[in-house]
């Protein structure tokens, strides 16, 4: 009953509803032309970092924004994904697709176990349990001396069959492809029957039970999907960084992902990507700006970023995408008024 034509129609209607997202993804596709002609390869690096963190934040947003589950430990899944590459290479497995498959499996299993235990709680307890699991994994990898322990291990860019990732543009477009795929999949999921059930559980769990459904199954599934997406981001992160250490799953990164989502807009598809763009650009630009005024304080760019974030949270209901949507709406009604005779 799910004919290809209906799936296509679904994709088109979902794409129409998310113009901002697809505009940004198209922008990322064209960005290397700009950096190539302007001879600024360094910016490709930043764009890759943005896409990777944006992808991970999109994954987290499925549980945080759509499902209302405040997970404070999703960096762990990025770390598991990255270590799957490092450990596979340690044992001589160099195929990138194999790394990806192992990461997806490992993050799926880890997500299932952590989700199964953590989702029995809600609110502050859920936040603390997810954080605790992430910290456990962090210290586990710190203690694994054979995999570099605290210092981490260096990684060769994975071998994706015919694709040589040492050509920087190849890695760029592999990341871009994965980002597009994740965005498309999430876009369909949140509009699907599963997706609206998840949103309904966030709205009122007991009514969903009264409809004969087990909320935990839906929440766990969402949790596992989001863990797997973070794992994919982590796998690519390892190749991009050519290095992995427990730092990749430090709890501050879980916080970073949450900041990115809140900045961009909770429970929107484009939000995490917008948030990642703004967050990482500010991370680059603010120290330079601050350094030109007061060189001694360049490191403390968070002094400016912090108040900015607070302003977005206070005044931009729905984050930056919420602000954009309201401006667009205001602009449209404005012109309508002008057109009146």
Partner 1 sequence: MTVPVLELCSLDKSFGALAATRDVSFSVQPGEIHALIGPNGAGKTTLIQQIYGASAPDRGMVLLEGQNITSMAVPDRVRAGIGRSFQISNVLMDFTVLQNGIIAEQARLGQSFRFFHPAFEDSALIDGAYQILDRVGLTPRAGQKVSNLAHGERRMLELALALATSPSLLLLDEPMAGAGPEESQRMADIIDGLRGTMAILLIEHDMDAVFRLADRITVLVEGAVIASGTPHEISNHKAVKAAYLGSE
Min. distance of Cβ 225 from partner 1 in angstroms?
9
CA angle 124, 127, 128 (to 5 degrees): 90
Region from 52-60, 73-81, 196-204, 238-246 binding partner 1, contact rule CB under 8 A: 196-204
Binds partner 1 (CB under 8 A): choice among 37, 206, 292, 339 = 206
In terms of Cα–Cα distance, which of 99, 238, 242, 97 is closest to 162?
Answer: 97
Number of residues this chain uses to bind partner 1 (CB under 8 A): 31
Binds partner 1 (CB under 8 A): choice among 124, 162, 211, 294 = 211
Instruction: Sort 236 into a burial class: Cβ within 10 Å, 0-12 / 13-18 / 19+.
Output: buried
**Helix or strand or coil: residue 164?**
strand
Count other C-beta atoms under 10 Å from residue 189's C-beta: 18
Biggest CA pair distance of the chain: 77
Indicate whether 3 belongs to the interface with partner 1 (CB under 8 A).
Answer: no
Region from 88-96, 208-216, 247-255, 285-293 binding partner 1, contact rule CB under 8 A: 208-216
Q: How far apart are CA 279 and CA 99, in angstroms?
A: 29
Q: How far apart are CA 257 and CA 261, in angstroms?
A: 6
Min. distance of Cβ 65 from partner 1 in angstroms?
13
Indicate whether 181 belongs to the interface with partner 1 (CB under 8 A).
Answer: no
Binds partner 1 (CB under 8 A): choice among 7, 136, 281, 289 = 7
Indicate whether 209 belongs to the interface with partner 1 (CB under 8 A).
Answer: yes
Whether the Cβ atoms of residue 301 and residue 286 lie closer than 8 Å to each other: yes
Indicate whether 213 belongs to the interface with partner 1 (CB under 8 A).
Answer: yes
Indicate whether 279 belongs to the interface with partner 1 (CB under 8 A).
Answer: no
Min. distance of Cβ 205 from partner 1 in angstroms?
10
Min. distance of Cβ 209 from partner 1 in angstroms?
5
Q: What are 172's two structure tokens?
A: 């760029």
| Contact positions with partner 1 (CB under 8 A) in 231-260 | none
Region from 21-29, 118-126, 188-196, 254-262 binding partner 1, contact rule CB under 8 A: 188-196
Backbone angles phi, psi at 139, to 5 degrees: -75, -25
3-state SS, one letter per residue, for 102-147: HHHHHHHHHHHHHHHHHCCCCHHHHHHHHHHHHHHHHHHHHHCHHH
Contact residues: partner 1, CB under 8 A:
2, 6-7, 10, 13, 188-189, 191-197, 199-200, 202-204, 206-214, 217-218, 221
């Amino acid at each position: 009953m799910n004919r290809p034509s209906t799936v296509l129609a679904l994709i088109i209607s979902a794409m129409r509803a998310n113009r901002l997202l697809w505009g940004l993804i198209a922008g990322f596709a064209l960005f290397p032309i700009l950096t190539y002609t302007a001879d600024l390869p360094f910016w490709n690096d930043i764009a890759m970092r943005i896409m990777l963190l944006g992808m991970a934040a999109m994954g987290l947003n499925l549980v945080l924004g759509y499902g209302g589950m405040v997970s404070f430990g999703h960096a762990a899944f990025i770390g598991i994904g990255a270590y799957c590459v490092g450990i596979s290479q340690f044992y001589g497995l160099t195929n990138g697709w194999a790394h990806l498959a192992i990461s997806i499996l490992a993050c799926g299993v880890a997500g299932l176990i952590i989700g199964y235990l953590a989702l029995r709680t809600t609110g502050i307890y859920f936040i603390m349990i997810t954080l605790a699991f992430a910290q456990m994994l962090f210290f586990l990898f710190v203690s694994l001396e054979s995999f570099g322990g605290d210092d981490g291990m260096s990684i060769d860019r994975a071998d994706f069959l015919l694709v040589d990732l040492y050509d920087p543009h190849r890695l760029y477009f592999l990341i871009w492809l994965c980002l597009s795929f994740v965005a498309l999949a999430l876009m369909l999921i949140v509009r699907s029957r599963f997706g609206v059930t998840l949103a309904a559980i966030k709205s009122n769990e007991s009514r969903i039970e009264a409809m004969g459904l087990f909320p935990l199954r839906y929440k766990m599934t969402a949790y596992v999907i989001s863990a797997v997406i973070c794992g994919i981001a982590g796998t690519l992160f390892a190749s991009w960084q050519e290095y992995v250490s427990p730092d990749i799953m430090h709890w501050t990164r879980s916080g970073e992902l949450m900041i990115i989502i809140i900045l961009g807009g909770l429970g929107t598809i484009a939000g995490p990507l917008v948030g990642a763009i703004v967050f990482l650009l500010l991370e680059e630009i603010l120290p330079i700006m601050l350094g030109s005024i007061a060189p001694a304080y360049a490191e403390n760019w968070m002094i400016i970023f912090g108040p900015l974030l607070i302003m977005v949270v206070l005044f931009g209901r729905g984050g930056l995408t919420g602000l954009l949507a309201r401006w667009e709406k205001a602009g449209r009604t404005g012109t309508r008024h002008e057109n009146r005779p």
